[in-house]
Structure 1
């Protein structure tokens, strides 16, 4: 059977099941979960890529909404236009980030940067862990939107790590930094949603994310095959967790993730220096424990300088936009904002009128990335760092990687917005609350994980579920801050299984179609870490 016929048959089967279910009297919650379950099964057991599973899940989600949840034409078009805005927001980072990476790679900068980090961190296992965990967390604190995976996963591949393992390790490793990442945008959005002062939420969120930081580090080490570095991971996790907590607690939320990741990276360098050049066996291809990495001075070269200048300039641009209020206000005067009408399904679920994803084109990270990419290309070309045709090769590599990624992201987000506008996602969360009652804090992170999986974003997960978690907390007599902190912590952990981010990672390492393999690795870790965070949230809920 050809692939188009097989896909049509699967979608048709989904429609028939939806029609039968809507007339059977069986619980709607199972029907609501079916599109997400189908996507998971296709990507894990069916070995389908995101750009294959996404359209199927999207089609089935629409049919389930029409047959079982009263999706109307108005609700459909509103949900899909909102989804396109969200997708555009993400893709405006993905395409420039891939272009910048490919330009730097064509100039030899990625190889040079990898060799430089080898010179600084001579313990091979510690080097890989630090990149996948601390360095990626620092980048998440800076920009987010999948950028850490897009940058760090290829570096791990350059160091000899299998591409699937590289994407999985970074997806897991960076998750702890997501809530306080993106210069604090996610956390600021969260406190605005629930109308709470940051000081009410930071202590609990800091504790839960500190637990997540340790668990993400240990899990990344496990994926990379370096469980024996657990003591170093524990020490660095303490440093990073405390740094994030203190920086957020003193009011510098926008810098908490960035400085915590930076502290962890410096800590890894300090540990390496303290070992006085003693190395340990590492990954296949470089197993010799007597291997001595080159001195720092021997790896400093124009290619490394160009790579550091490119990403350093990007860091500076994004930091200026985030911290200089007059500059940000000026850039944000240009705004793309669409107000949508109130829509209602035939079953009575109402989505209030309001704006979709608001985009500030000049202040968007993608604009800064594109600007840096253009300037970097011109400078490196004038310095003779590019071979003939390098620019065309970079553009071609970007197109090849980004196009299937775009299909996966657009369809996955379209699925999530259709589920949101029919009440399907909200129904799943409420059902979990009814089932678990006062043990709900254990489940609260999984609601966040569900939202991040469906939307590809901790921020969007919080938009969907933060107020619902707050309402459940009041009904159950639990401090709202506990469930809200658990929600956003779960949303951060959901980054390791969000198809949109996995697609970005696989695209940058040339493993399009391997997203299901990555998901099979990251899914168990997201569940285990989510359970650990949930148990800690449960313990905190008993506080007077």
Structure 2
């Protein structure tokens, strides 16, 4: 590489990231618009200063489009699954069910705002957990502001391995790591930090509800949820990352339902003066005239669970469906500064029949057929459902394509390498403290841990190698920091305030959550530095 690593070229390399930040935070541009503008600027910088040619930039953008396809399929089908359930009125039934099975108010809040929100994150993601949980919490008496805050914090532990590990797979795709031992090590660091995040989040939510009195009353439930979710994720991520948030979140839901029947929590209990409840103005929820039962309301998620587990865990089925895969080939390219992007015969191959999008789509369609047959969805609604799903999917799709393109162009033209070398020269080993904040920042500005990993995975890996740090630890802290940042992602907050009917209160929500998220990211940084010092 012949690119000068000096302040001028380092500043040129960081311009795309700074511009993206400024456009989204200062000027409140949405992610699609900001990312598209930044991509254009990144390409211009590549041509003018990094001696890139049309061939280099075009191939990198084509790679980005292919990477985007895998993610886009999940985005559309995840939203489709939600829309089918919503059209059938399943969420109203679920709310009624939660009230019946959890007489203890704190447990009921955690069942919806932590466990159910996490379950939704395990199979859907993309803001759906907040979008669904906020109105459910309001219906049981939680004030609208706190109804948004609770699920934002409660489901963040599943931000990396949720949605069938879409953010995790983005991290691995971007770094190109294929050594199974290294991948497992990254998963161990990431899931370990996320275990801590989930545990502290559960304690914090109980404290929000009723201070130390609520923590004491809910201690067993908090411990159970934290161990099943966080501990389960640590274990399962070592052999099947795609299911390492999905299975623990489903098990925690079952566990909490069973715990609600125990002598500890079977009786009605509440803290009358809880600051997060709105008792005097609480609306009485009318009985729902709907013959749908709890299991029918959960049907799409049962189907999702069955299909996913069958395909991924039953080897004959998996082997048969995995036979067909495709990945395009790309020629070798080279910049004027000597940055070589090697020839690839099969780039990031997709196996469509074992892809998360296929599982989500199958569950959506089977759920629709059942609901239509039962009369829960009226005839002719399928086109409407598809239209709603595609309309909601367009903004994240545009953002994903642009963000991946920015990352690929920066990497393919040497900008990421210059940026990494510059920072490593300044911070040295103390960079480990700031690594989680990079992931945190990425989730905040892009709206998802997936996008954060797309933007910064290459940068984090290169920086760690240049400094001589533990690369798996740095990448683990990158995606764990991204999980924390999901709690303050503007897109997720807006979805919550919209369904909670407090649109415009995003600043108030952010003010409630920001101290929590900054504290967690700081804790991650300290733990990473201790790990570095002790060489563990």
Quote how far apart the aligned CAs of 1:536 are: 0.6
Alignment CA distance shift 1:162-1:97 (3 Å)? farther
Quote how far apart the aligned CAs of 1:32 are: 2.2
Secondary structure of the structure 1 residue equivalent to 2:181: coil
* Per-residue CA distance 1:409-459 (angstroms, 9 max, x = gap): 322332222222223334333333322222222123234456666783476
In the alignment, which residue of structure 1 is the partner of 2:35?
54
Retained in 2: the 8 A contact 1:239–1:263?
no
Alignment CA distance shift 1:432-1:208 (3 Å)? farther
In the alignment, which residue of structure 1 is the partner of 2:400?
409
Aligned equivalent of 2:245, options 252, 257, 263: 257
Alignment CA distance shift 1:245-1:411 (3 Å)? closer
In the alignment, which residue of structure 2 is the partner of 1:287?
279
1:337 is the counterpart of 2:331: no
Aligned equivalent of 1:358, options 349, 352, 357: 349
In the alignment, which residue of structure 2 is the partner of 1:156?
134
Retained in 2: the 8 A contact 1:442–1:537?
yes
Paired with 2:505 and 2:417, the residues of 1 have a C-alpha distance of 27
Secondary structure of the structure 2 residue equivalent to 1:542: helix
Alignment CA distance shift 1:461-1:246 (3 Å)? same
The gaps in structure 2 that reach 5 residues or longer are: none
In the alignment, which residue of structure 2 is the partner of 1:397?
388
Paired with 1:230 and 1:111, the residues of 2 have a C-alpha distance of 29
Paired with 1:199 and 1:81, the residues of 2 have a C-alpha distance of 29
In the alignment, which residue of structure 2 is the partner of 1:372?
363
In the alignment, which residue of structure 2 is the partner of 1:18?
none
Quote how far apart the aligned CAs of 1:122 are: 4.2
Could you tell which deviates more after superposition, 200-209 or 532-541? 200-209
- What does 1:59-458 correspond to in 2, within 5 Å? 59-124=40-105, 126-140=107-121, 142-143=122-123, 146=125, 149-160=127-138, 170=151, 172-181=153-162, 186=168, 189=172, 192-193=177-178, 196=181, 204-217=189-202, 232=218, 235-236=223-224, 238-240=226-228, 243-244=231-232, 247-248=235-236, 255-266=243-254, 268-269=256-257, 272-273=260-261, 274-275=264-265, 276-280=267-271, 286-287=278-279, 301-302=291-292, 304-354=294-344, 355-449=346-440, 456-457=450-451
Retained in 2: the 8 A contact 1:95–1:398?
yes
Paired with 1:299 and 1:243, the residues of 2 have a C-alpha distance of 40
Retained in 2: the 8 A contact 1:208–1:537?
no
Secondary structure of the structure 1 residue equivalent to 2:354: coil
Retained in 2: the 8 A contact 1:116–1:300?
no
Kindly report the root-mean-square deviation, in angstroms, between the aligned alpha carbons of the 2 structures.
4.5
Paired with 1:50 and 1:358, the residues of 2 have a C-alpha distance of 27
Could you tell which deviates more after superposition, 353-362 or 226-235? 226-235
Give the total of aligned pairs: 511
Secondary structure of the structure 2 residue equivalent to 1:44: helix
Secondary structure of the structure 2 residue equivalent to 1:410: helix
Retained in 1: the 8 A contact 2:134–2:496?
no
Secondary structure of the structure 1 residue equivalent to 2:27: coil
Paired with 1:456 and 1:250, the residues of 2 have a C-alpha distance of 19
Paired with 1:164 and 1:32, the residues of 2 have a C-alpha distance of 39
Paired with 2:510 and 2:494, the residues of 1 have a C-alpha distance of 16
Quote how far apart the aligned CAs of 1:34 are: 2.3
Paired with 1:193 and 1:101, the residues of 2 have a C-alpha distance of 33
